[in-house]
A = this chain, B = another copy of it.
Amino acid sequence: MMNKDQYEAYLKTLLPGVRFAPRDDELVGFYLMRKVLNQPLPPNCINDVLLYNYHPRTLTANGGNMSSPNGVAKEWYFFTPKDRKYHHSNRSTRGPGDGFWKTTGVDKPVKSSGKVIGWKKTLVFHQRKSGRKTNWMMHEYTLSNPWQRIDKNETQLENWELCRVYKRKKDRNQSPQLEISLLEADFGLLNN
C-alpha cells in the first residue's frame, strides 16, 4: 500500500484536470462502506480525525493539499467516529470552543442503482460568540444500513462517518490560485 508521501507523489503524476472529485455514491458506497466494514482501502486523502474537536481552519491547515493534485486544495476529506452520545442531540453542541456546526437544509439520500445507501447532511460552521455564519461548510455522509452487508461472524462494524469540509465560494470553478507552472508542465512521466 502507498504511504502518504507516495500518494502525494501519485497525485502529482495525474494529468492536468484529473483529480480526486468523488461523487456522493462513491464516497458512501465505496470509501465509507469499506471503512465501516473494516475492509482494505486504496491509498486516499481521507484522514481519520476527531473532526468535531477542531476549528475547520485547523483541520484544513495540515495536509490540506492531499485532497487535490497540483497543490490546489479546495476540499478536504475526513473519517470521524460517529459519536453515539451526540446521535440524537442538538447539532449545535458539536464543535470546538470557538464555534459550532449547524445543519442547513434537509438531509439528502445518497443512492446507488436506485437504492438508498446513505445520507448526506450539509452543515455550516458558526462563530460561538456572535452565532454568525462563517464560510466553512461541510457535507457529512453516513451509511444507512451497513449491517445488511455483514455476516455476524465477521469483524465488528466500525462506527464512522465521512466528511467533506470546504469553503463556500461564489463560483466553484474559479480559482485564483491556479499554478501558472501548469502551463509549462512537463509530461515526461506520461510521454512514453
A21 contacts B26, C-beta separation under 8 Å: no
Chain A contact residues, majority secondary structure: loop
In the bound complex, residues from chain B placing their C-beta under 8 Å from that of A29 are 178, 182-183
A22-35 vs B, Cβ < 8 Å mask (1 yes, 0 no): 11111101110110
In the bound complex, residues from chain B placing their C-beta under 8 Å from that of A114 are 176
A90-120 residues at the B interface, CB under 8 angstroms: 108, 110-114
In the bound complex, residues from chain B placing their C-beta under 8 Å from that of A33 are 183
Quick one: which of B15, B22, B40 contacts A42, CB cutoff 8 A?
B15
Given A178-B113, A187-B42, A19–B16 Cβ distance below 8 Å?
Answer: no
B176 contacts A113, C-beta separation under 8 Å: yes
B183 contacts A25, C-beta separation under 8 Å: no
A2 to B180, CA, bound (A): 24
Q: Does A14 interact with chain B (Cβ within 8 Å)? A: yes
In the bound complex, residues from chain B placing their C-beta under 8 Å from that of A31 are 16-17
In the bound complex, residues from chain B placing their C-beta under 8 Å from that of A25 are 173-175, 178
- Central interface residue in A16, A22, A114, by most chain B CB within 10 Å: A16
In the bound complex, residues from chain B placing their C-beta under 8 Å from that of A22 are 16-18
Quick one: which of B34, B108, B180 contacts A113, CB cutoff 8 A?
B180
A147 to B178, CA, bound (A): 21
Q: Does A63 interact with chain B (Cβ within 8 Å)? A: no
A77 CB → nearest B CB, Å: 9
A159-178 residues at the B interface, CB under 8 angstroms: 171, 173-178
Given A29-B183, A178-B25, A171–B16 Cβ distance below 8 Å?
Answer: no
A67 CB → nearest B CB, Å: 10
New A-B contacts (7) at CB < 8 Å, excluding given A29-B183, A113-B180: A15-B42, A17-B20, A17-B26, A23-B174, A24-B173, A30-B182, A42-B190
